[in-house]
A = this chain, B = another copy of it.
Amino acid sequence: MVYPGPYEQGEFALSEHQLRSYRNKGFIQLRGLLHETEVADLLREAKNLVTASARERRPEAVFESDGREVRSVFRGHELNSVFDRLMRDGRMLDVARQILGSDVYIHQSRLNLKPGYAGKEFYWHSDFETWHVEDGMPRMRAVSCVVLLDENNEFNAPLMLVPGSHMHYIVCIGQTPQDHYKKSLRKQEFGVPDPTSLGFLMERGGVQSAKGPAGSVLFFDCNMMHGSNSNISPYPRSNLFFVYNSMENRLESPQHGLQPRPEFIAARGADLSLERVAPTPR
């Protein structure tokens, strides 16, 4: 959703036309927002982060269900100063503040990997459904920002999105177990939407894929229905996610008496404010 904040418009805010498109479809992709030399740096840092966090068996590193490959690394911005700077970069932050109409903070950040030959699928889901139930996020006032670190193309299973699906809240049937995240981050079994609801959304909106060159940035609503296929292609597909949440939408208690998930998955810290930085001139 777009919130009509009194928030001052930043240098890199979306145009009226772009904002309208985001409001209707629930996402917008800015092709080539980052320079290719920046992306090369980020990709190198990402590889280092994966290697280091896997070697140290850090909880932030989530492995595929076969235990062999790293599927995601959470909270990379606290482990790496380059990612920390990027999430405060005006090109991302101005858009997030504009869409959410307020100051924002990082609810979650993660590096999602789909290595060539081995990347597994992410079944259809809305992030908000999980964040609402398991993290106690009150309203749909968060936006995911995805930085494409590799080209996302027809072969390496780009994100697929259902335009307009952010307007509908699909309840997933079934009880959420305690410590669900330890399994669900590896392979989704509970909380997947039923085919009838999915069909309803897709008949209305169809499906679009977020293909684009490395350095493109995708913003999508926290309630967007999205997923992606497996990746057996030779082309790795690494994407960096920053989830911005409104400071006016901070987490409450999880629902149904669930225990809060760890800080690296859902931030509740006392001081979460972000200091904006301008992009480094090139």
Chain B residues whose C-beta falls within 8 Å of the C-beta of A231 in the assembled complex: 229
- State in angstroms the CA–CA spacing of A266 and B70 once bound together: 39
Chain A positions 193 through 204: 1 when the CB is less than 8 Å from some CB of chain B, otherwise 0: 001001100100
Chain A positions 117 through 154: 1 when the CB is less than 8 Å from some CB of chain B, otherwise 0: 10001011000000000000000000000000000001
Max chain B Cβ within 10 angstroms of own Cβ: one of A124, A202, A211, A233: A233
Chain B residues whose C-beta falls within 8 Å of the C-beta of A155 in the assembled complex: 160, 207, 209
Which secondary structure dominates chain A's binding surface? Answer: loop
Count of chain A residues with a beta carbon within 8 Å of a chain B beta carbon: 24
Q: Given the interface contacts A155-B207, A155-B209, does A199 sit within 8 Å of B232 by beta carbon?
A: no
Chain B residues whose C-beta falls within 8 Å of the C-beta of A211 in the assembled complex: 154
Copies of this chain assembled into the complex: 2
Beta-carbon contacts under 8 Å, A175-200 to B: 195, 198-199
Is the C-beta of A234 less than 8 angstroms from some C-beta in chain B?
yes
Contact between A227 and B234 (Cβ–Cβ < 8 Å)? no
Contact between B230 and A117 (Cβ–Cβ < 8 Å)? no
Is the C-beta of A247 less than 8 angstroms from some C-beta in chain B?
no
Contact between A232 and B123 (Cβ–Cβ < 8 Å)? yes
Shortest distance from the beta carbon of A267 to any chain B beta carbon, whole Å:
29
Is the C-beta of A14 less than 8 angstroms from some C-beta in chain B?
no
Residues on A facing B (Cβ under 8 Å): 117, 121, 123-124, 154-155, 157, 160, 195, 198-199, 202, 207, 209, 211, 227-235
Would you list 13 pairs from A and B whose C-beta atoms are within 8 A, ordered by A residue? A117-B198, A124-B232, A154-B209, A154-B211, A155-B207, A207-B233, A207-B235, A227-B232, A228-B232, A229-B229, A229-B230, A229-B231, A229-B232
